[in-house]
Structure 1
Amino acid sequence: MFKNLMDGIKTQLSRAPEMRKPRARMRSVQHSDSASRAAELLIAPTALMQLSPTEALTVVSYMTPRRIPMDTTFIHEGDKTETGYMLLLLEGEVTVENIVVSRRNPVTVSVLGPGSLIGEMGLIDGQARLASCTATTAVTAAILSRAALEKLSQDDPHTAAKLLLAVSLRIAERLRDTTEKVKRYSQLVQAMQQEIDHLMPT
């Protein structure tokens, strides 16, 4: 099923909106309720608040709609292929999981709903995926590929720059959050070690 999903994504990307002429691309979203909804979700607090509604609609015009069946793992942790895109979750729910060191079963990191971005780091650097993502319900998403981002950069450098800045700010925010968690974990380990040393002096 994963291969079929990836083949579907490849097919979608081969007919991607960045291949259309700019006027035709914008006409396709200007009077579309689904495109307007996608633009609203793109600038939601869970996504990229830094974009204006007009800029968000422009970005949506470069995105490709995609439906993902329930129980499909569409991103696999460690995958180094098919990493050059991100998804905006429009409908449905996605579970994000990690394989923690010394564990065999994945640990749920978060559950994402509409307005969430998935895979934005892959869009920027194309490196291996850091987590697995599974559709826990039927999912509707919009995909922004790296090719579409490059075309957006050529057609509308200002919007592309704001998009990249917004994505970078999201990544930086997550990095700060992770750093805080690592600090708290380190303090907890240190406190536990001090308690162990107190109870079992050497």
Structure 2
Amino acid sequence: MNPADSRHHTDPFSSQRLRPGAEAEAVAQRAADLLRNCNAVLQLSADEALRVVAHMQLVNFPRGATLLREGDDSKLDHLLLLLEGEVSVDTSAGALAGPLEISVLGPGSIIGEMALLDGAPRSASCTTLSPVQAAVLSRNALEGLIDQHPRVAATLLLGLGVRTAERLRALGEHLQIYAKLVEDLQAENQRLRGLR
């Protein structure tokens, strides 16, 4: 599994497990805190967040690395929790002049969860704007979490589902705004044509 574009980053999984007690203890605690505080919808306790983090791997990406590619249907087996750095999320859907930046995400943001949950191709591309440190939860690790801590896994999955629903709701609101804008522009265009 390699979520990074190999042209930009040769081995993103020369990583370490985020297990408390190891040299990554401080990073593991930070990841757990970000899971709880930046993603309150996940509703994980401190202990549950540490259990999730114990199944994650720490990876580092340089600036300019492609973490996820829109339309990719081959690398759907992981999500990333951003620990440090910023990532641009963009899409080419409906964009006439190249990719359209949707947002810039930072520490505490989770990316890639939709494809992990439903196996559908990636809905957007994510590119690092700075060096990025992230914790990766693979599908295999998620299955291990389900086997070892089913209640924690259920809480995590429910929270990810709620996050996805909230984002879809917000997208629907944005689409209504864009539809109104298009309607207004079309009316103005008709008005200007009538002036000729």
How high is the TM-score relative to the length of structure 2?
Answer: 0.86
User: Using a 3 Å threshold, how does the CA distance of structure 1 residues 28 and 58 change in structure 2: closer, same or farther?
Assistant: farther
Report the equivalent of 1:150: 143
- The 5-angstrom pairing of residues 58-97 of structure 1 reads 58-97=51-90
- The 5-angstrom pairing of residues 180-191 of structure 1 reads 180-191=173-184
User: Using a 3 Å threshold, how does the CA distance of structure 1 residues 48 and 168 change in structure 2: closer, same or farther?
Assistant: same
The alignment-based identity, stated in percent, is 42
Report the equivalent of 2:94: 101
User: Using a 3 Å threshold, how does the CA distance of structure 1 residues 180 and 75 change in structure 2: closer, same or farther?
Assistant: same
Q: Return the offset for 1:130.
A: 1.1
CA deviation profile, 1:14-60 (whole Å, cap 9, x unmatched)? x878xxxxxxx56549x911111110011223565411111111100
- The code of the aligned residue for 2:121 comes to A
Report the equivalent of 2:35: 42
The count of aligned residue pairs is: 192
Aligned partners of 2:9 and 2:62 also within 8 Å: no
Q: CA RMSD in A?
A: 2.7
Report the equivalent of 2:6: 3
Q: Secondary structure at the match of 1:8?
A: coil
- The 5-angstrom pairing of residues 113-152 of structure 1 reads 113-152=106-145
CA deviation profile, 1:92-128 (whole Å, cap 9, x unmatched)? 1111111133525211111111111111111111221
Report whether the alignment pairs 1:162 with 2:165: no
Query: Partners in 2 of 1:49 and 1:157 — Cα distance?
Result: 15
Query: Partners in 2 of 1:153 and 1:159 — Cα distance?
Result: 8
Aligned partners of 1:28 and 1:61 also within 8 Å: no
Q: Return the offset for 1:86.
A: 0.3
Report the equivalent of 2:170: 177
Instruction: Give the 4+ runs in structure 1 shifted more than 4 A.
Output: 4-7, 9-12, 25-29, 46-49
Unaligned runs of 5+ in 2: none
Aligned partners of 1:47 and 1:115 also within 8 Å: no
Unaligned runs of 5+ in 1: 18-24
CA deviation profile, 1:122-161 (whole Å, cap 9, x unmatched)? 1111221111111111111000001111111111110000
